[in-house]
Amino acid sequence: MSTATETHQRTGEDRTAARAPGNTARLLRRWWPAAALLVLALAPFSALPLPGLLDGPLGSPGSLQLLATCLLFGALATGYDLLLGRTGLLSFGHALYFAAGSYATNTLLLEAGLPFAVSALLGVCCGIVLALVLGSVSLRVTGIGFSMVTLAFAQAGSILVSRNPGGLTGGEEGRAAPAELLPSGLVGIENTANLYWLALAYLVLTLAVVHRAVNSPTGRVWEGIKENERRVEVLGLKPYGFKLTAFVLAGALAALGGLVHLLLTGGSTPQTTTSDFTLSLLVMVVLGGSGTRWGPMAGGILYTWADHRLGDLAGSGAVAELPAVLRVPLSQPLFLLGVLFVAVVHLLPGGLARLPSRLAAARRGPAGPETPAKSKSRKENGRP
């Protein structure tokens, strides 16, 4: 009896030990976002040098400014994926709502002299109303027609800003924000950490909103529209209202991002109104993995960081000393980004978000041929 009891105890211990790695893996998958958020939140207090990745220590103003920009565009790409990856809407005019949040807030500060909080609220509301109006028109058509209509609106907005009507937009030079009307804790190089935390908060808010929306009943309808819009209509639902909801929600997040960008850069720039800006968002989403939870964020962060670092490389003395056959292509940051994008798309179909599953599959190796013993064991465990 004692021997049987000891054997049973050892068997139980072996099973517990076998389950431990699985439990640890599940805990890591569940809590790694919280750990990553904690690390990001503490970055301004660190003096860790990251040569090759950043120009200075992690907590230096220059490094925090770059990281804040990366977080901003990671959030912006996540919001844009509500259209592309979740609803199947290819919009070329998303930059318009980003620019609306920035320009409207800045104009209200400069022309109306309103307090920052009121100007910011009204500026974001302007972006939301603009998304509602233009979205209600654009979504009257589908497919490539929708994409062309959004592109036309984006081009019209870009031309309007460049013409500088009434001196409100600053034309091609943009318009600086009045430092005396901005919150004192968000102005000056000594407050770069506060701006970094603001960008981090915007990223967290965007991720939370998108996650909640995607997992709601409306989010499931978005998925159905992406897969087969006609089938959604057969079920008695009207896709137009659901698509407009996604369009306005993405526009609202973009307008809020424009407000954050205004504070980060200290002004509104016409580059944020062009269709090229939206194309950059498209590249970010595809690079990271469209339709995934973390992919667009990763793509936005990587693209923004690479754009900055490759720009520094293109203007460096090392590239200037190379032969012309190498110096000319390497001195063009867009060429380098294009090569990087093509390489990632070719080598990692589905974007960076698919990389962990591909590595796991590579470690497991190819599945062996089916044998009677494997088939019997699978059926005994209730697996098909």
Residues 6+ apart with CB under 8 A from 179: 187, 266
- The number of CA neighbours under 13 Å toward the Cβ of 362 is 6
Between CA 349 and CA 358, with CA 354 as vertex, the angle to 5 degrees is 90
Q: At what angle do helices 144-163 and 116-138 cross, to 10 degrees?
A: 140
Please choose, from the candidates 121, 170, 182, 134, the residue with its C-alpha nearest in 3D space to the C-alpha of residue 272.
170
Is the predicted pLDDT of residue 379 greater than 50, yes or no? no
Q: pLDDT tens digits for 105-130?
A: 999 999 988 999 999 999 999 999 99
Model confidence band, residue 17 (pLDDT cutoffs 50, 70, 90): very low
Per the CB < 8 A criterion, the answer to whether 345 and 284 are in contact is no
CA-CA distance, 333 to 312, in Å (whole number)?
A: 9
Percent of the chain with pLDDT over 70: 84
Which tens digits make up the pLDDT trace of 125-171?
Answer: 999 999 999 999 999 999 899 999 999 999 999 999 999 888 888 88
For 65-97, the pLDDT digits (tens) are: 999 999 999 999 999 999 999 999 999 999 999
Domain ranges (residues) in the chain: 56-275
Q: Hey, what's the torsion of the CAs at 232, 238, 241, 242, to 10 degrees?
A: -20
- Over residues 38-55, the pLDDT tens digits come to 989 999 998 888 887 888
Whole-angstrom distance, CA of residue 384 vs CA of residue 381 = 9
Model confidence at 378, in pLDDT bands (50, 70, 90)? very low
Place of tokens 């470690």: 363
Residue where the block lists tokens 């992919």: 295
Q: What is the pLDDT of residues 320-355, one digit of tens each?
A: 677 776 676 767 777 777 777 788 778 777 788 887
Single-letter code of the amino acid located at 320 = A
> Are the C-beta atoms of 198 and 191 separated by less than 8 Å?
no
H or E stretch covering 238: none
Look up residue 240 and give its amino acid: Y
Contact 195, 264 (CB under 8 A): yes
334 vs 99 pLDDT, higher one: 99
Query: For residues 188 and 191, what is the distance between their CA atoms, to the nearest angstrom?
Result: 6
**Distance between CA atoms of 336 and 329, rounded to whole angstroms?**
8
- DSSP-derived letter for residue 44 is G
- Residue 5: pLDDT over 80: no
pLDDT at 380 over 90: no
Query: Are the C-beta atoms of residues 80 and 281 closer than 8 Å to each other?
Result: yes
Average of pLDDT values for 161-185? Answer: 89
Rounded distance between C-alpha atoms, residue 103 and residue 161, angstroms? 9
Alpha carbons 105 and 110: distance in angstroms, whole number: 9
Structure tokens at 338: 């294009």
Rg (CA), the chain: 25
Average pLDDT over residues 190-207: 95
What are the angstrom distances between the C-alpha of 9 and each of 68, 86, 180? 54, 50, 72
Predicted pLDDT at 278:
87
- 364 burial (CB, 10 Å; 0-12 / 13-18 / 19+) is exposed
Q: Tell me what pLDDT residue 285 has.
A: 92
Contact in structure between 264 and 72 (CB atoms under 8 Å):
yes
Residue 304 has pLDDT above 70, yes or no: yes
The neighbour count for residue 89, using CB atoms within 10 Å, is: 25
Mean pLDDT in residue range 311-328: 70
Helix (H) or strand (E) holding 343: helix 333-347
Count of C-beta atoms within a 10 Å radius of residue 124: 23
- Side chain identity at 170, as an amino acid letter? G
For 64-97, give the DSSP string. Answer: HHHHHHHHHHHHHHHHHHHHHTTT----S-THHH
